[in-house]
Amino acid sequence: MAPLADLAAGPSTDAARGPMLPRPFRVEQRRQDTRDTVTLVLEPLDGEPLPFDAGQFTMLDAFGIGEVPISISGDPTRPGPLEHTVRDVGSVTHALVRSEAGTLLGVRGPYGTGWGALDGAGGDLLVVAGGIGLAPLRPALLEALARREAFGRLVLLYGARTPHDVLFADDLRSWRDRHGVEVDVTVDYGTPEWTGRVGLVTSLIPRAGFDPRNTLALVCGPEVMMRYVATALVDRGVPAGRVRLSMERNMRCGIGLCGHCQLRELFLCVDGPVLAYDRLAPLMAVAEL
């Protein structure tokens, strides 16, 4: 890896950097979302904003430790700081979530396919999230809210492990109370003070208000959850091609070279991570593929 001083002082164009050389970003703000999840607000040292599509990810580098793929969780309609919501699950993410304001991190990307939420214009948009899966879906919701008049119903079904693991609680209230999003939240394990629903996120689908034949569904969470959600949506009448899932594999390069993210004929860092369920269904039916 190039010395940090070289990264800060080097050319800023993509061609000059090359696809494997990260851009340096400074942590401007660190927000503790849950006990193990943090949102980092990053500013580029060269002052050049990083445009992205909702659903894309970057390779986020904790210098000297390593890099990991992290979905962008900010607003794609507003150029400005880059936001990543990171869960502490390994050595690199542990370093990232402990980054204080002023820390320099490396960013490569953005990579991959987006949600294409505006493809649902003229109908209903259904978002189904499990756990940290709400983070990559947040940009799609923000994009849809910026064009609220283009959609019918906006519905968010969200499942978290416990009430303490619910992400973006302020956003959830604002989307429901100020923007007319139909928000329904459930948890796997309730607490004495929890008055909401307890159960799997799939249990929210039968009661959700949307027109199956005129709905675009965006789904992100653990793979087993996405498989059951997609099946339930198709059974309710949503066309499989209108159900989009964000797949996760062990991405290393982000540009389709290393093969770590291969899912049979697909390389998820370039063919995905967002793919339609009609393409994924036969692959997700194979155990340990």
Calpha distance 32→86 (Å, rounded): 10
**β-pairing verdict for 215-220 and 124-130:** parallel
Tokens of 127: 């978002």
**Does the structural domain 117-284 have CATH classification 3.40.50.80?**
yes
Question: Where exactly are the structural domains of the chain?
Answer: 4-111, 117-284
Correct CATH for 4-111 of 2.40.128.20, 2.120.10.30, 2.40.110.10, 2.40.30.10: 2.40.30.10
pLDDT value of position 65: 97
Task: Name the pTM for this structure.
Answer: 0.93
Calpha distance 194→205 (Å, rounded): 21
Q: Please check whether residue 140 is in contact with residue 54, taking contact to mean a CB–CB distance below 8 angstroms.
A: yes
pLDDT value of position 289: 77
Calpha distance 237→235 (Å, rounded): 5
Q: What is the pLDDT along the chain (289 residues), one digit of tens a residue?
A: 444 444 444 444 554 567 789 999 999 999 999 999 999 999 999 999 999 999 999 999 999 999 999 999 999 999 889 999 999 999 999 999 999 999 999 999 999 999 999 999 999 999 999 999 999 999 999 999 999 999 999 999 999 999 999 999 999 999 999 999 999 999 999 999 999 999 999 999 999 999 999 999 999 999 999 999 999 999 999 999 999 999 998 888 999 999 999 999 999 999 999 999 999 999 998 877 7
Tokens of 265: 């004929």
